[in-house]
Amino acid sequence: MANGTVIGIDLGTTNCAIATSTGAAVDVLPIAQLTGPGELREERLFPSSLYIHGAKEFAEGTTALPWDDAPKYITGEWAKRRGVENASRLVHSAKSWLSHSGVDRTAPLLPLTAPEGVTKVSPLEASTAYLTHLRQSLGDIKDAQVLITVPASFDASARSLTEDAARRAGFANFVLLEEPQAAFYAWLERHEDWRERVHSGDKILVIDIGGGTTDFTLIAVGEANGELTLERVAVGEHILLGGDNIDLALARTVEQELAAKNTKLDAMQLHMLWQRCRAAKEKLLAPGATQTEEPVTILGRGTGLIAGTIKATLRRETLEQVLLNGFLPPVEKTEQPAKSKRAALAEVGLPYASDPRITAHLARFVQQAGAPTHVLFNGGVLHSEIVRRRIVETLNGWLEKPVQVLEGEDLMHAVARGAAYYGLARQGKGIRIRGGVPRTYYIGIESSMPAVPGIPAPMKALTVVPFGLEEGSSVELPKMEFGLLTGEPAEFRFFSSVSRHADKPGEILDPIPPEVEELSPIEVHLPAAAESVTRVTLAADVTATGVLELWCVAKDNNRWKLEFNVREQTQ
């Protein structure tokens, strides 16, 4: 590609997309991928699906790609289709697993239900496989600048793992960008008159509901030297709640209707029904769709092709009831997401949101971030007019003044397009949204108190990185001294908060409040100093790629560095 080319990559939970620009218009690139045995096509979306095929499952040569005669896995559209028929070999939602601090994300975990003898892959390896396919489909990009998007709510470890996957895939000159910001950049790119549409004092709420996650971001419009400015001022929590939840709810509803007719489904059939309900939902909610129902057919347990099928129907009425009553019910502006009591033992899986009410999560975000004046929608779920309408009605029920909806564009490609536009903005060819670290970070400090049997020493939280710190910045921490254990394994405990924006570097929280959540600890063996417990002061940096680094500095200028990266241990 030509020098100066910018490439935006949406590494989505459900689908990936690519957009590019050489300085003028931003265009969506089709992605070459297999759609069936030996069937190579270019599609505007690349499903984030990986299928682990058997050694003799397909005829020789039918899995070949233009750049790889015998790929290790099948990825993209064919993987998605094949996975409906054989879910035990399908990897999906790898991006959600990449952000799950409760597991070792470099260990072979997926698919969870893979039978004996099937080689599993790690969330990192699956993400690398998607990025590798995208990288190879692009051809020569050595002179291009690449922007890869991640959820705004990704913590530093998830971002670091994404960077690792990108490097393994062969990307070199790349930068990470938050998805809601990318969606807003796409809106800016399509509206050259944006300064006439928003004004100083406005606050734009970006609502991104995709296949696996719900993301909220608030962008404030300000003014400096007579020019409008944009600043990301609030980021919501990482909420595993989206289209997958809706599709499963629909499948469960249809399953109950089948059970009432004495048709019972096993786990594999339910998974197939889940995928079929997704396709039926998309048809019913497509713009201009008028049909009142869609057929849903899955394979039965019989051996005959026709006799072994189960036929059901997804009705528009059922779909709207599930959406509006289950996921988008009217709630008060003071509502908080409910926390259900967890069972002592549970299957290993993703930490899905316990409350499926998207409106309740939105209420909490608005309480914490402040009232918006405008709203911008993004994500596949928001293709639906009834979903957008219910969200606007809910917001207007809370606010003194109705929000204005910023009309967007293709919701499935906005993130990729916006990423490409951001690349141009980095070259001075567009406006940039100011922002920085999307949460406040703390390190745990163990209290110096007499030991008490059965009770660990109390922990305090020292603020080391404030919310909004710009990338590439350093933090001046007060010259407080702490004892650093060296020469033997030691565990560092880290915490973060998306809602505490006023905590200053060096401020100590004692006790640690409930809105401050603990991250996975980091266990390291620091090189020994003259004394096993060395008196140090602390300093913090945020690298240009958003990775947090914490430095422990001794009086003799010895320095030890800690990073939020793949060294995190499982909990």
CATH code, 34: 3.30.420.40
Parallel/antiparallel/unpaired status of strands 508-509 and 39-43? unpaired
List the CATH number of the domain containing 289: 3.90.640.10
323 part of a folded domain: yes
Cα–Cα distance, 109 to 116 (Å, whole number):
13
The dihedrals phi and psi of 312, each to the nearest 5 degrees, come to: -145, 180
For residue 38, the model assigns a pLDDT of: 94
DSSP 456-492: PPPEEEEEEE-TTPPTT-EE------EEEE-SSEEEE
In this structure, the answer to whether residues 161 and 13 fall within a common structural domain is yes
Cα–Cα distance, 30 to 46 (Å, whole number):
9
Asked whether the bond before 111 is cis by omega within 30 degrees of 0, the reply is: yes
Domain boundary among 270, 305, 327: 327
In this structure, the answer to whether residues 167 and 40 fall within a common structural domain is yes
In this structure, the answer to whether residues 123 and 31 fall within a common structural domain is yes
For residue 450, the model assigns a pLDDT of: 63
Domain boundary among 176, 194, 221: 176
Three-state secondary structure call for residue 316: helix
> What is the span of the domain harbouring residue 538?
440-563
For residue 363, give Cα distances in angstroms to 236, 258, 360, 376.
Answer: 11, 36, 5, 16
For residue 571, the model assigns a pLDDT of: 27
Q: Any idea which residue has 């033992």 for tokens?
A: 345
User: Can you list the positions of beta strands (E) in 253-405?
Assistant: 293-299, 309-315, 374-378, 404-405
Pick the closest to residue 204 from 395, 407, 376 (CA basis). Answer: 376
Tokens of 356: 């499926």
| Domains held by the chain: number | 3
In this structure, the answer to whether residues 126 and 250 fall within a common structural domain is no
- CB neighbours (10 Å) of residue 32? 18
Task: Please report the sign of the dihedral spanned by the C-alpha atoms of residue 135, residue 136, residue 142, residue 143.
Answer: negative
In this structure, the answer to whether residues 41 and 129 fall within a common structural domain is yes
89 part of a folded domain: yes
In this structure, the answer to whether residues 467 and 551 fall within a common structural domain is yes
For residue 347, the model assigns a pLDDT of: 56
For residue 367, the model assigns a pLDDT of: 94
In this structure, the answer to whether residues 269 and 165 fall within a common structural domain is no
The dihedrals phi and psi of 183, each to the nearest 5 degrees, come to: -60, -40
In this structure, the answer to whether residues 262 and 130 fall within a common structural domain is no
223 part of a folded domain: no
358 part of a folded domain: no
In this structure, the answer to whether residues 31 and 168 fall within a common structural domain is yes
Cα–Cα distance, 309 to 297 (Å, whole number):
7
In this structure, the answer to whether residues 252 and 171 fall within a common structural domain is no
Three-state secondary structure call for residue 112: coil
Domain boundary among 128, 156, 176: 176
373 part of a folded domain: no
For residue 432, give Cα distances in angstroms to 228, 454, 479.
Answer: 11, 53, 34
Q: Any idea which residue has 């995709």 for tokens?
A: 210
73 part of a folded domain: yes
Cα–Cα distance, 5 to 142 (Å, whole number):
10
Tens digits of pLDDT across the chain (571 residues): 666 799 999 999 989 999 999 877 899 999 999 999 999 999 999 999 999 998 889 999 999 999 999 999 999 999 999 987 788 899 988 998 988 878 889 999 999 878 888 999 999 999 999 999 999 999 988 889 999 999 877 877 888 899 999 999 999 889 888 898 899 999 999 998 999 999 999 999 999 998 888 999 999 999 888 888 898 888 888 888 998 899 999 999 999 999 998 888 887 788 888 888 988 998 898 878 889 999 998 877 654 444 478 899 999 999 999 999 999 999 999 999 998 765 555 555 677 889 999 999 999 999 999 999 999 999 888 988 899 999 999 999 999 999 999 986 678 899 999 999 998 888 888 888 877 677 888 999 888 656 556 666 788 999 998 888 876 678 878 888 888 888 888 788 889 888 888 999 999 999 999 999 888 787 777 787 777 788 888 888 877 556 678 888 888 888 888 775 322 322 2
In this structure, the answer to whether residues 156 and 17 fall within a common structural domain is yes
94 part of a folded domain: yes
426 part of a folded domain: no
For residues 179 and 242, the answer to whether their CB atoms sit within 8 Å is no
Cα–Cα distance, 103 to 194 (Å, whole number):
43
In this structure, the answer to whether residues 41 and 119 fall within a common structural domain is yes
For residue 564, the model assigns a pLDDT of: 58
